[in-house]
């Protein structure tokens, strides 16, 4: 099992809210140079845009393999035993090619275009249930349920099982917490067992009758004459859920936070100009996705980042900080949907591991915003809302547990 590099060892924040929007810290880190050594965690930390991009993409020098990680979700009981085709997230090219290609075959632009009406239906159904003029918690009403509903629909999970499925997903990806590690590990192991037992017959059935869903695509997928076994398909499913559910929920809830608190005119602007929605999606990912970071292990001694790095050293690339680099983005600490280059954010990574689900995540937020301005004329915050008590630890940093608002 890999050792988790905890955020607390790198940077102690005095409050959850400070961690939720660590703009001051990013500012000072960006000003203090490209890369800094942190003794507590024994890691090098990269903040500047160009440096972060190099760390993520130059796999000859910065490897995704290694014994330490910033990712607190685990896809299997033991990463090392996990099948090589599925564990591609932690492999460098060319070894990652087969696994990545097999999964990529389910995420083609064509499949996304086919899925669009289904995803739109899910977004619209959730949004029209929101009562006009009444205080609603958008986390419970939309940000939490939508990504799990989309994933279970796209995977092809039978409808009556969706609630059961969501419960497993919630447990499987509970955030890493040192103080409750044993309890959480037990819960997760139990959920993994149940999930495997449940999914195997579903896959066997789909093999008899392929459908238009990701599990069927994974059954069809073939690279160099190799296909996935039932077990590997279940592992792939876990990998997709681990990578795609919590992250997307976080993106949705923080985007609403931005509409309510960062730019109160934005909703009206989007209502008048829905054609700005694509830019808005990118700016939300740049400006509001705050704890995006990935680790790499130095493969051979080098000085590429301006310091002497030795083989085995760990470098943490802070994509969220890079998204605030003023050498890349003009007035980076402002939310500005009109900036021309906001698609250049690094929230989905860069290079050989660039997020396979990025088009899906983007589409989910786009469809939410489109339906929002279609069905409502105004959005309002709730005065009694207090940020600090509505945050909790999660794999993506501090996540909103509730966000009350009113829609008219």
For binding to ligand HEM (CB under 6 A), which residues are involved?
56, 64, 88-89, 96, 100, 103, 239-240, 243-244, 247-248, 251, 289, 292, 294, 347-349, 353, 355-357, 360-361
The residue nearest ligand HEM at its CB is 357
Q: Report strand pairing: 397-400 vs 391-394.
A: antiparallel
Q: Which C-beta is closer to ligand HEM: that of 248 or that of 394?
A: 248
Q: What is the Cα–Cα distance from 236 to 223, expressed in whole angstroms?
A: 15
Q: Which is nearer to ligand HEM, 89 or 309 (CB)?
A: 89
Cβ proximity to ligand HEM: between 370 and 380 the closer is 370
Give the other-Cβ count within 10 Å of 50's Cβ. 14
Nearer to ligand HEM, 59 or 267 (CB): 59
CB of 236 to ligand HEM, least distance (A): 9
CB of 4 to ligand HEM, least distance (A): 15
Smallest distance, Å, CB 247 to ligand HEM?
4
Name the residue nearer to ligand HEM (CB basis): 127 or 240.
240
* DSSP assignment letter at 261: I
| Residue 341 CB neighbours (<10 A) | 11
User: Among the residues of 89-173, which ranges form H helices?
Assistant: 97-104, 109-128, 138, 145-155, 162-172
CA distances from 153 to 159, 373, 406 (A): 8, 25, 29
Minimum Å gap between C-beta 222 and ligand HEM is: 18
Distance CA 266, CA 288 (A): 14
Picking from 358, 398, 370, 312, the residue whose alpha carbon sits closest to that of residue 14 is 398
* Nearest residue (CB) to ligand HEM, 349 versus 404: 349
Q: From CA 108, how far away is CA 114, in angstroms rounded?
A: 10
Query: Rounded to the nearest whole angstrom, what is the least distance from the CB of residue 299 to ligand HEM in the complex?
Result: 15
Report in angstroms how near the CB of residue 14 gets to ligand HEM at its nearest. 26
């Amino acid at each position: 099992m890999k050792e988790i590099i905890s955020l607390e060892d790198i940077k102690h924040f005095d409050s959850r809210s400070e961690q939720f929007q660590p703009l001051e810290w990013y500012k000072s880190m960006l000003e203090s140079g490209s890369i800094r050594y942190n003794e507590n965690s024994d890691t090098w930390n990269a903040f500047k845009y160009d440096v972060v991009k190099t760390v993520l993409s130059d796999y000859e020098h910065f490897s995704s393999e290694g014994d330490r990680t910033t990712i607190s979700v685990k896809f299997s009981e033991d990463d090392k035993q996990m099948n090589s085709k599925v564990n591609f997230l932690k492999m460098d090219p060319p070894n990652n090619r087969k696994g990545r290609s097999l999964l990529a075959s389910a995420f083609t632009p064509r499949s996304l275009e086919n899925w669009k009406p289904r995803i739109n239906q899910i977004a619209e159904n959730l949004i029209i249930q929101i009562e006009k003029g009444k205080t609603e918690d958008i986390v419970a009403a939309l940000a939490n349920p939508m990504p799990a509903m989309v994933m279970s629909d796209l995977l092809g999970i039978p409808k009556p099982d969706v609630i059961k499925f969501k419960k497993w997903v919630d447990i499987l990806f509970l955030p890493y917490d040192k103080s409750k590690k044993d309890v959480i590990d037990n819960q997760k192991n139990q959920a993994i067992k149940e999930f495997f037992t449940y999914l195997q017959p579903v896959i066997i059935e789909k093999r008899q009758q392929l459908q238009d869903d990701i599990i069927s695509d994974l059954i069809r997928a073939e690279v160099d004459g190799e296909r996935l076994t039932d077990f590997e398909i279940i592992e792939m499913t876990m990998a997709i859920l681990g990578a795609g559910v919590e992250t997307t929920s976080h993106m949705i809830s923080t985007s609403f936070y931005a509409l309510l608190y960062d730019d109160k005119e934005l909703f009206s602007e989007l209502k008048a100009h829905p054609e700005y929605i694509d830019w808005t999606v990118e700016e939300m990912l740049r400006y509001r996705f705050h704890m995006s970071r990935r680790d790499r292990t130095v493969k051979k001694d080098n000085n590429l980042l301006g310091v002497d790095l030795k083989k085995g050293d760990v470098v943490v690339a802070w994509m969220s900080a890079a998204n605030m680099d003023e050498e890349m983005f003009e007035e980076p600490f402002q939310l500005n949907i009109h900036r021309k280059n906001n698609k250049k954010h690094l929230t989905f990574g860069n290079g050989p591991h660039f997020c396979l689900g990025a088009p899906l995540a983007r589409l989910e937020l786009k469809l939410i915003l489109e339906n929002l301005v279609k069905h409502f004329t105004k959005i309002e915050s709730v005065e009694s809302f207090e940020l600090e008590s509505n945050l909790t630890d999660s794999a993506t940093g501090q996540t909103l547990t509730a966000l009350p608002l009113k829609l008219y």
